Amino acid sequence: MDQEFHPDDFYHRYAEYLSQKQSKTKESYLKNIRPFLTYLDKQSITNPTYHDVERYFDDLINQPSQTHILINDVDYDELSDEQRRALDQFRYKDRTIKSYRNMLNQFFKWLEREGLYENIVQRANNNIPVPHGHAKDALDIEDVEKLLAYLKDANDTLVGKRDYAIVLLAVTTGLRTIELSRANFEDIQRRGLNTVIYVQGKGRREKDEFVIIPRKTKEVIRDYTNFRENQGYMINNDLAPLFASHGNRNKGGRMSTRSISRLISAAYEAVGIHSSKITPHSLRHTAATLSLINGGNLRETQKMLRHSSVRTTEIYAQDLNEDLNTSSQLIEDLIDQSKILKMNEDIAKHDDSE
């Protein structure tokens, strides 16, 4: 299959293919795929991969204003103060993002069927982040404990040590699967009194962001990396992947995001976590939620997740407030209390009549 991506040619050929459909349907399909092609052009991406699809949707959700400016060629300096305020508050609607995803998948499905290009949207599906108003959930603390206990029990093998380290790091720092995949051995460093991991965040070319690694998590990672070197599996040089593949096909190579997602999903399955709303990306939601539940403030949680705007982090707090909303229970308690009071009144009236 020709892996050269020719956006204009592919777009016009797809438009011709869609000519057999009603004009409104054709217009809708093309309108929803054009932003992605513009995004690629603006980012100078010539042959997109599924990682680029993941970053695109991540930017739509977590950096909506900047992404809107990028793909619509908006000159921010030319906007009025009112327009700037409106743009700063801008978010893509859930249904818009879902339409982008569905129509883009149809486009790449057609490209693959025609032998023109791989369906990178389908390959990225498990790691495409979920729009706000999360259709995907965080794990509760009981599920986290169950998951980590299971992985810790299997922590006597090389793969077991690695898998335990991956999940523990993800759930305590909120790292994305792509950031776990990109991490090198040298990325864990001392910074002041803390041990941190430098990460290449979404849309970035350098590892210029860092997250503090908790003490026990650091020990679990060190246990894995020491074990693999001491047992002669691989040498921990600076550019060695922090989390390596230990299968025969890619022994010592970097784990892909798909492999990391697969091991997380397998761990869910093993401990009985069955929900379409729980995905590998849920570990990031879980880190945010647990941070806020345990007293972390919005700014601290924002820094851990590396959100460009605290408004993105506020969504987790809003979801948490909804989860903690006891209004319905208060109403039920009030009804029960009213019944008890009425019953007591009836008893008192009965006693008075006697």
Q: What are 131-145's pLDDT values in tens digits?
A: 544 445 788 888 899
Of 100, 123, 113, 124, whose CA–CA distance to 39 is shortest? 100
Q: Which of 55, 101, 161, 307 is catalytic?
A: 307
Q: Which of 51, 162, 182, 202 is catalytic?
A: 202
Q: What are 201-252's pLDDT values in tens digits?
A: 665 667 878 899 999 999 999 999 999 999 999 999 999 999 999 988 888 8
Q: Position of tokens 């992985």?
A: 151
> Which range has highest mean pLDDT (280-294, 302-316, 320-334)?
280-294
Whether 176 is catalytic is yes
pLDDT band at residue 113 using 50, 70 and 90 as cut-offs: very high
pLDDT band at residue 262 using 50, 70 and 90 as cut-offs: very high
- Taking the C-alpha atoms of residue 66 and residue 98, their distance in angstroms, rounded to an integer, is 19
Q: Which of 101, 176, 182, 306 is catalytic?
A: 176
Per the CB < 8 A criterion, the answer to whether 185 and 236 are in contact is: yes
Q: What is the pLDDT of residue 223?
A: 96
Measured CA distances, 167 to 150, 163, 281 (Å): 11, 6, 11
Q: What is the pLDDT of residue 353?
A: 59
Per the CB < 8 A criterion, the answer to whether 169 and 180 are in contact is: yes
Q: What are 81-105's pLDDT values in tens digits?
A: 888 888 877 888 877 888 888 889 8
Strands (E) located in 173-268 = 188-191, 194-199, 209-212
Q: What is the pLDDT of residue 352?
A: 58
Can you tell me whether residue 210 is helix, strand or coil? Answer: strand
Per the CB < 8 A criterion, the answer to whether 177 and 281 are in contact is: yes
- Identify the weakest region by mean pLDDT among 14-18, 211-215, 290-294, 336-340: 336-340
Whether 316 is catalytic is yes
Q: What is the pLDDT of residue 348?
A: 60
Can you tell me whether residue 197 is helix, strand or coil? Answer: strand
Q: What is the pLDDT of residue 304?
A: 85
Whether 202 is catalytic is yes
Bridge partner list, 194: 191
Of 93, 44, 35, 103, whose CA–CA distance to 69 is shortest? 35
Q: What is the pLDDT of residue 39?
A: 94
- Taking the C-alpha atoms of residue 118 and residue 48, their distance in angstroms, rounded to an integer, is 10
Q: Which of 132, 182, 284, 285 is catalytic?
A: 284
Residue 298 has pLDDT above 90, yes or no: no
pLDDT band at residue 295 using 50, 70 and 90 as cut-offs: confident
Q: If one looks up domain 141-323 in CATH, what number appears? A: 1.10.443.10
Q: How far is CA 189 from the centre of its chain?
A: 25
Sign of CA dihedral 62, 133, 315, 197: negative
Whether 113 is catalytic is no
Sign of CA dihedral 114, 50, 8, 106: positive
Residue 323 has pLDDT above 60, yes or no: no
Q: What is the pLDDT of residue 117?
A: 93
b or e along 191-202 (b: 16 or more beta carbons within 10 Å of the residue's beta carbon)? Answer: eeeebbbbbbbb
Q: What are 161-206's pLDDT values in tens digits?
A: 999 999 999 999 999 898 999 999 999 999 999 999 998 866 566 7
CB neighbours of residue 64 within 10 Å: 21
- pTM equals 0.56
Q: How far is CA 79 from the centre of its chain?
A: 32
Is 145 or 125 the better-scoring residue by pLDDT? 145
What is the location of CATH 1.10.443.10 in the chain?
141-323
CB neighbours of residue 279 within 10 Å: 24
Q: Which of 51, 101, 281, 306 is catalytic?
A: 281
Q: What are 30-43's pLDDT values in tens digits?
A: 989 999 999 999 99
Which residue pairs, CB below 8 angstroms and at least 24 apart, start in 10-17?
Answer: 10/111, 10/116, 10/117, 11/37, 13/114, 14/107, 14/110, 14/111, 17/110
